[in-house]
Amino acid sequence: MRIGFLFNHDATHQVPHTIPVAAALARRGVMVEILCSTPEQRAVAERLLPDPSAVRFTMLNVGALAKGLDRVLRHVMPFRRLAVLRENTASFVGLDALVVPEITSTRLRDRPELAGMKLIYVPHGAGDGAAGFLPATRRFDLVLLSGEKVRDRMLDAGLITEDRSEIIGYPKFDLLDAPVPRLFDNDKPTILYNPHFNPHLSSWYRFGPEVLRWFASQDRFNLVFAPHVMLFKRLLQISPIHKRAAWRPGIPREAFGRPNILLDTGSDRSIDMSYVRAADLYLGDVSSQIYEWIQKPRPAVFFDTHRPSTRQAADYAHWALGQVVRSPAELPAALDHAMAFPLEFDDVQRDAARHTFSIETASAGDRAADAILRFLKAYP
């Protein structure tokens, strides 16, 4: 049996979500193939695997024409990702199954030579946004989910069926064995500002630089600015779902060189939960990272930049996990309130964490591996 794991993105943030599953399958004697489209993805995968020699690595490349077009188009669309799928079909032939953390890979469904390959989805996150509940989910043979929250919503929307989905927990949590890092040489409260990249939903485009300037002007709090890793990958961000595009503002000069501000637009620490574990308060908008945050309940503040309608309530369920503000002017009072009442949302966050993540004695990676093998036996 050969099972592939595909990493095909502009960043490396999706790798930790499925690599524990690959490791668990390799321990069971399965021939595991890790297919990467960038050296950075391979480096992260090798570092996270307990035994990289137990798997086979395959690098996926694209031709000169696609590389040239990508230099022009990368800032407006995922051109290279699509080209990788189109130009590397032969690398997937012979796989019994391919495990992916995103939905672009459903394009492989259109390749006749891959008709016998099962496509398995492990979402890279457990958030509430509409992007996690798209119709393309129906094209997977098996969907493995973190917990009841996402499973129930997908069932209600008709995106999955009970016989072709299973709750396995959150594989990324299997990797949490490093000590919590100390980020600053002081004992001031540390705020993690984690804006999303979607120009319709994110607080960065409306007033993110103003937020950084405010933190630069005060000395009561430390700030870690660690946005979604895709925010600074493109100058022009486009949201196909919301039909909106916007130029991404840069970091204001006032934020550089400050002893109380750490700027990280995409290092390994921004994807391995270092900041989520070390900070004292979460400041964001719509990122699914809030659910990683509430595994250890702490205060949270969310920017509402566009006042969504009640019809979109499910997409913003996480706003019940903290305070919601609509401008930087409201931020100082919200931070004061959070410091005065740090346990205000403790019970709500614990309930949300239990509903979002299934935690059992067996690791999520092991649970996923067993689910995949059961499925392939039942649907050869």
Nearest-angstrom CA–CA distance, 258 and 281: 19
The ranges assigned to domains in the chain are 2-170+358-378, 190-355
CB atoms under 10 Å from CB of 361, counted, come to: 6
Report d(CA 299, CA 293) in Å as an integer: 10
Amino acid symbol at 352:
A
| pLDDT for the residue numbered 235 | 84
In this structure, what token pair is assigned to residue 6? 């595909």
CA distance 298 to 281: 6
What is the per-residue pLDDT for 321? 98
Say if residue 77's pLDDT is above 80.
Answer: no
Alpha helices in the chain (DSSP H): 15-27, 39-48, 64-73, 79-87, 89-92, 148-156, 204-216, 274-278, 289-293, 331-340, 346-356, 364-378
Give me the count of residues in the chain: 380
Tens digit of pLDDT for each residue in 210-234? Answer: 999 999 999 999 999 999 999 998 8
Q: Read off the pLDDT of each residue in 39-64 and give the average, rounded to a whole number.
A: 96
Q: State residue 220 phi and psi, 5-degree precision.
A: -85, -35
Instruction: Confirm whether 2-170+358-378 and 190-355 share one CATH topology.
Output: yes
CA dist 303 and 195 (Å) reads 9
Question: At 315, is the pLDDT very low, low, confident or very high (cuts 50, 70, 90)?
Answer: very high
Q: Closest Cα to residue 97, out of 140, 55, 64?
A: 140
Mind listing the pLDDT tens digit for each residue in 268-278?
999 999 999 99
Residue 50 burial (10 A CB sphere; 0-12, 13-18, 19+):
exposed
The domain at 2-170+358-378 falls in which architecture? 3-Layer(aba) Sandwich (3.40)
pLDDT, tens only, 131-163:
999 999 999 999 999 999 999 999 999 999 999
Is the pLDDT at 240 greater than 90? The verdict is: no
pLDDT of residue 308: 85
Instruction: Report d(CA 279, CA 335) in Å as an integer.
Output: 14
According to the CATH classification, is domain 190-355 in 3.40.50? yes
**pTM greater than 0.75:** yes
- Which residues have C-beta within 8 Å of that of residue 227, sequence separation ≥ 6? 193, 194, 195, 196, 197, 204, 265
